[in-house]
Structure 1
Amino acid sequence: MASAPAHPAQPIQAADSRAAADTTPPHAPLLNDIVALDALALSDAIRARRVSCREVMQAYLAHIAQVNPAVNAIVSLRDADALLAQADERDRQLADGQWLGWMHGMPHAVKDFAACAGFPTRKGSPLTSAAPETQDSISVARIRAAGAIFIGKTNVSEFGLGSHSYNPVFGTTGNAYDPTRSAGGSSGGAASALALRMVPVADGSDMMGSLRNPAAFGNVYGMRPSQGRVPYGPAPELFVQQLSTEGPMGRTVADVAQLLATQAGYDARSPLSLVQDHGAVPFASALRRDVKGLKLGWLGDYGGHLPMEDGVMALCEASLRDFTAMGCEVQACAPDFAPARLWQTWLTLRHWLVNGSLGELYADPARRDKLKPEAQWEVEGGNALRAADVYRASVDRSEWYRSLARLFERYDFLLLPSAQVFPFDAQMHWPTSVAGTPMDTYHRWMEVVIGPTLAGLPAISVPVGFDARGLPMGLQIIGPAQADLAVLQLAHAHEQQTQWVRRHLPPMLAGTARA
C-alpha cells in the first residue's frame, strides 16, 4: 500500500476563483407560496391545476435569480424562455388530460455527474467536454419520464473527490445556512439548492457520504440506498464500480421516498440492479409505522477512534432522546471489527477504483497537471497496488459486512453521526485536523461515512439540530441489507418527532415562509 504523499496532507488556501460570491442578497428574497411547497404538495397542486406549470417555472426562476448568486449551487442554468416554453407544453398536456407523473412540470437540476441530454457533464473538471450530452443516464431518464423539466445542473467537487463542492470550472458552492462555509460534497450543490428552495427535490450520488454529508450540512435529508437499488449507467464498467450509488435528497422523508421510487428498479443495462418494478415501489405510500419497541444500536465515535469536532457528539447524543421519546430502545454498541482495518480496506478499494476511472488522464503528463493533487494521489496509490492487495481488501470488506450483520441480530437499526465536523470555511480545501488530531489524507475527516458504503447498506442522514453558530448537523440511520423502506419509516417517524427542516429555515429565507 502506498503511503500518502505530502500534497494531499497539506492543503493550500483556495484560489480567488473559488471565492464565494457576495453572501448577502441586497434584499431578503421573498419565499413565494409556490416555492415554499414541498415536492409532493407541489405535485398535487400542479395536477389539480391550482397552479400552472408556467407559474411554477416563473416562481422558481425568480427565486433562483435572487438566491443562487450567494451560494453558486445551480450551474449550467438553461435560458428562461426555453424553460417557460417547456412549462407551457406541460400545461397543454394537462389541459389535454395527459399527466406524465408526479414530477409533471416540476423544475429539476441534475447533479453534474449524471448525464442529462441537452446539458454538458463537467464533473467539475476542465478535462471534461463542454458539449451537451445526447442521452440521459438511467436515473435521469426516469426523472424525465416522471415529467420533470430540467433547468440546469448542481455543482460538485472535482470528479467527486472530497466532501467539499469546489472546482476550477464553476467555483465553490456555499452553505445554505452560512455561504462562507462548505456545503459538503460531492452533492453540495444539490444540498444547498434544496435547502434554499431552488429545487423541490434533488438527486445525487454517494461514494464517501456524498448524499449524507451535504444533507447534514444543509439540514435536509439525503439517502444512500442499498447497493443495486438505483441502477447506474449506461457506463463502460458494470461490475466493480459498486462503492458509489445514486440516490435522493429532499426536505421531507416522503419526498425522498417518492424520488427513490422513481429512481429505483432493475434495468438490464445494470446487471447488479435489484429486480423490482421501479414504478410500483411502495416507498412513499408506506412510511407510517409503529416504531415503539425498535432496538437501535448507537455506534457513536467507534469507541473514541473517530475524532469529532466539539459539539458534534453532543447534538447526536441529544437526538437519541428523540428516538427514546418515540418509544425506541437505544443502546451503545460496537462492531467486532477494528476501525483501523476498516480504513485500510477503504483506502485500498478507493485507490483501485479511482485509478481505474482517472488513470488514463494521469498517464498523460499534460492532462495530469490539470488533476487536483488529491486525484493524483489516489491514482498513484492505485498504481502501487498488487492484485493480492485488492483481493484482501474485498475479503476484509466482506468480513465487515458480516460484522454488521451480527449487530443486526441484536438491533433493528444502527445510528452514527453523519459527519465529524460542522461546515467549515469554504476557502479551505479540507480540514487538516479534527479535535487536535491531524488528518493524514484529504478525506480522513469523513471516515465516519465509510461503514455503510463498504457494507452496501441503506443509510439516511436525518437532521439533528444546530450548534451555537447556527451550523447544522445530521445523524445516519443505517438499516440491514435492502431494508430501504424500513430506514425511511424510522426517518419519517423521527421527522414527525423533530421537524428540524420546517422549524429552521436558512437565514436568507427566515421569516418569509408561509405556514
Structure 2
Amino acid sequence: MTDLGVHSTAREMVRAIASREITCSELMDLHLERIAERNPQLNAIVSLDEERARDGASEADRTPYDERGPLHGLPWAFKDTHDVAGWLTTYGSPLLRDNVPDRDELVVERIRKAGAVPIGKTNVPEFAAGSHTFNTVFGTTLNPVDPTRSAGGSSGGAACALAAGMVPLADGSDMGGSLRNPASFCGVVGLRPSRGRVPAWPSANQWEALGISGPLARNVGDLALLLSVIAGPDPRVPLALGDPGSAFAPPIAGSLKGLRVAVSPDLGGLIEVDAEVAAAVEAAGRTMAAAGSHVEADQPDLTLAEDTFRTLRAWVFQAGFKDLLADHPDEFKPSLADNIRAGEGLTGADVARAYEQLTAVGETARLFFERYDVLLLPTSQVPPFPADQEYPADINGRPMTTYLDWMRSAYLITVTGCPAISMPGATTRDGLPIGVQLVTAHGTDRRLLEVAAAYESLDFETRRGARR
C-alpha cells in the first residue's frame, strides 16, 4: 500500500507508477475523487470526461515500461486555450462553445507523448484576455485558499486545480502575466520561460514576441520536469531556442551565496504596489541577503516597455479577432472588445516603433544582467482581489482604469524576453498568497530554476518572518 496522495510531488507519482506502488488507474481515481470534492466549488476544471480519463489510465497501465515517457500516467487537464484533438476547446468564448479541434498543438503533443492522461480542460477568461478567470461559457474560477477571491488568470483554472490537488502539474501560457499572476494568487510556482524556449505551433504569426507557453507546479523540481518536456526546438518554429528540453530536467539545486541581486518593489516608481506585496518583496530581499546574496536596491529602466507592450498586444488582438468582433459584436466582453478596437488605429509606423522599443528594452535587460544575476520584484501588484470584480478598481487610491493597469509588474518584464518565475513568498494578514518574481537574463532558464530552488529550500516560516 502506498502513502501517495494528491499533494505528493509529480516526481513521486511518476516514481510510484514506475515501481508499481500504484497503478495509473489508481492514481486517476485519487484525482477524480479530489475533483469531485473541490471542483464544484472552485470551478477550475471544465469539460471533464471521467469515462475517457479512466479509459486513458487503463491504457497507460498496459503500456510497456520501455515505451513510457517522463509524465507517464499523470492525470492532465490542458488549458482551455490549448487545442487538444478530440476534446472540447472553447477558449472561454461562446463563439467556440462547440469547438472540437482535430489536432493537438505542439505543447499538447509533447505532453501527451510524455505519457500524460487527459481528463479535461482548465478554465480561462475569454480568449485568455485578462488576469481574472471568468467567462459566459463556464463561469468564474475561485481561489482555492479563499473562494471569495480571484484565482488570477488567464491560467487561473490551471493554477487553482494544481493548488487544490486536482492535478499534479499544469500547462499554461503567458502574455502579460497569465502564468505568473495565477501562480501568485494560488500559492504555486509559475514560470514564463525565455522568449523562444517553448515553441508554439501552429501559429498565424511565428514572429509574435509576447505570448509563450510554460509550466505550473507546486514546487521547482516538478516545474523543471514539465519544462524538460515542453521546451526544445522544433523544425516548424524558426525562432525556437536550440537547447534540448532535457537540459532542464531535475534534479535542480542551487545556492544563493554570492548572487548579485537587485530588489525593486516598484520598478523605480513605474508601478503602484499594495503595501503588503511590497513588504513581501523587501522581506525576500532580506532573506536572500541572509543566505549570502549581495542585495542592492536597483532596477532596469523599463519606461519604454509600457508603450511597447500595449501597442504590440493591441496589434496582435486586432489582427486575431477583428473579423470575429465585426461579425459578433455582442459576443465579446466589453473590455476585450475595447482592447481589440484599440488596434484599429495603429499604423505601420506605430508597430515599427514598438519593435524598435522591444529591441531597446531587450538591450537594456542584457546590460542590466551583466551587473546583476537576479532581479527581484512583485509578481502581482495586489493580493487576490474579490472574485466579483473584473479587476482591482485602484491600488493605494490610484485608479486602475483598464483591466491591464494592475498587471504592469508582470507585463513590463514580458517585454524584456527574459525568463521570470513566480514563487510563493509570503501571505497577507488574512492568509492570502503573495508571490515574488525572480528574473534572470534571456536564455538562462536553468540558472533561474537553480536560484528558485535555492530560495524554495529556505523554510517558508523563515521567509515570512523576515517581513517582521
Whole-angstrom CA distance in 1 between matches of 2:171 and 2:37: 22
Give the Å deviation of 1:455. Answer: 1.3
Q: 5 Å matches for 1:96-495?
A: 96-239=64-207, 241-278=208-245, 281-337=246-302, 339=303, 341-364=304-327, 367-495=328-456
Query: Residue 299 of structure 2 contacts residue 375 of structure 2 at CA under 8 Å; is this kept in 1?
Result: no
Whole-angstrom CA distance in 2 between matches of 1:379 and 1:336: 28
Give the Å deviation of 1:177. Answer: 0.5
Paired residue for 1:38? 9
Find the residue that maps to 1:230 and give its secondary structure.
Answer: coil
Whole-angstrom CA distance in 1 between matches of 2:331 and 2:281: 39
After superposition, the C-alpha distances for 1:199-241 in whole angstroms (9 at most, x for unaligned) are: 00000000010000000001100000011110111122222x2
Query: Residue 322 of structure 1 contacts residue 498 of structure 1 at CA under 8 Å; is this kept in 2?
Result: no
**Aligned counterpart in structure 2 of residue 57 of structure 1, from 19, 24, 28:** 28
Query: Residue 232 of structure 1 contacts residue 246 of structure 1 at CA under 8 Å; is this kept in 2?
Result: yes
Find the residue that maps to 2:447 and give its secondary structure.
Answer: helix
Whole-angstrom CA distance in 2 between matches of 1:377 and 1:36: 41
Give the Å deviation of 1:469. Answer: 0.7
Distance 1:245 1:487, change over 3 A: same
Query: Residue 44 of structure 2 contacts residue 156 of structure 2 at CA under 8 Å; is this kept in 1?
Result: yes
After superposition, the C-alpha distances for 1:227-281 in whole angstroms (9 at most, x for unaligned) are: 1110111122222x22000000000101000100100111122111112333xx2
Query: Residue 97 of structure 2 contacts residue 137 of structure 2 at CA under 8 Å; is this kept in 1?
Result: no
Find the residue that maps to 2:423 and give its secondary structure.
Answer: strand
After superposition, the C-alpha distances for 1:398-419 in whole angstroms (9 at most, x for unaligned) are: 1111112221121011111001
Give the Å deviation of 1:99. Answer: 4.2
The amino acid that maps onto 2:391 is W
Give the Å deviation of 1:319. Answer: 1.5
Find the residue that maps to 2:77 and give its secondary structure.
Answer: strand
Give the Å deviation of 1:320. Answer: 1.4
After superposition, the C-alpha distances for 1:32-67 in whole angstroms (9 at most, x for unaligned) are: 843121100100001111001111011110110001
Find the residue that maps to 2:247 and give its secondary structure.
Answer: coil
The amino acid that maps onto 1:197 is G
Whole-angstrom CA distance in 2 between matches of 1:169 and 1:436: 33
Query: Residue 47 of structure 1 contacts residue 99 of structure 1 at CA under 8 Å; is this kept in 2?
Result: no
When structure 1 is superposed on structure 2, of 325-334 and 141-150 the one drifting more is: 325-334
Count matched residues: 460
The amino acid that maps onto 1:383 is E
Find the residue that maps to 2:119 and give its secondary structure.
Answer: strand
Query: Residue 123 of structure 2 contacts residue 141 of structure 2 at CA under 8 Å; is this kept in 1?
Result: yes
After superposition, the C-alpha distances for 1:141-163 in whole angstroms (9 at most, x for unaligned) are: 11101111000000011111110
Paired residue for 1:47? 18
Distance 1:97 1:376, change over 3 A: closer
TM-score by length of 2: 0.95
Q: Does 2:37 align with 1:66?
A: yes
After superposition, the C-alpha distances for 1:453-510 in whole angstroms (9 at most, x for unaligned) are: 111110100110100111111111101010000000000001111347xx9xxxxxxx
When structure 1 is superposed on structure 2, of 371-380 and 49-58 the one drifting more is: 371-380
When structure 1 is superposed on structure 2, of 382-391 and 230-239 the one drifting more is: 230-239
Paired residue for 1:20? none
Find the residue that maps to 1:330 and give its secondary structure.
Answer: strand
Distance 1:161 1:81, change over 3 A: closer
Find the residue that maps to 1:179 and give its secondary structure.
Answer: coil
Structure 2 portions without partners, runs of 5+: none
* Higher relative contact order, chain-length normalized (CA < 8 Å, sep 6+): 1
The amino acid that maps onto 1:47 is A
Distance 1:379 1:428, change over 3 A: same
Query: Residue 414 of structure 1 contacts residue 478 of structure 1 at CA under 8 Å; is this kept in 2?
Result: yes
Whole-angstrom CA distance in 2 between matches of 1:237 and 1:333: 35
Paired residue for 1:7? none
After superposition, the C-alpha distances for 1:330-379 in whole angstroms (9 at most, x for unaligned) are: 11113245x3x421222111111111111111222xx1111111121112
After superposition, the C-alpha distances for 1:110-148 in whole angstroms (9 at most, x for unaligned) are: 001111112122111011251322211101111101111
Give the Å deviation of 1:291. Answer: 3.0
Whole-angstrom CA distance in 2 between matches of 1:484 and 1:154: 26
When structure 1 is superposed on structure 2, of 299-308 and 256-265 the one drifting more is: 299-308
Find the residue that maps to 1:371 and give its secondary structure.
Answer: coil
Find the residue that maps to 1:318 and give its secondary structure.
Answer: helix
Cα RMSD (Å): 1.5
Whole-angstrom CA distance in 1 between matches of 2:100 and 2:270: 45
Whole-angstrom CA distance in 2 between matches of 1:97 and 1:297: 47
Query: Residue 113 of structure 1 contacts residue 121 of structure 1 at CA under 8 Å; is this kept in 2?
Result: yes
Query: Residue 44 of structure 2 contacts residue 142 of structure 2 at CA under 8 Å; is this kept in 1?
Result: yes
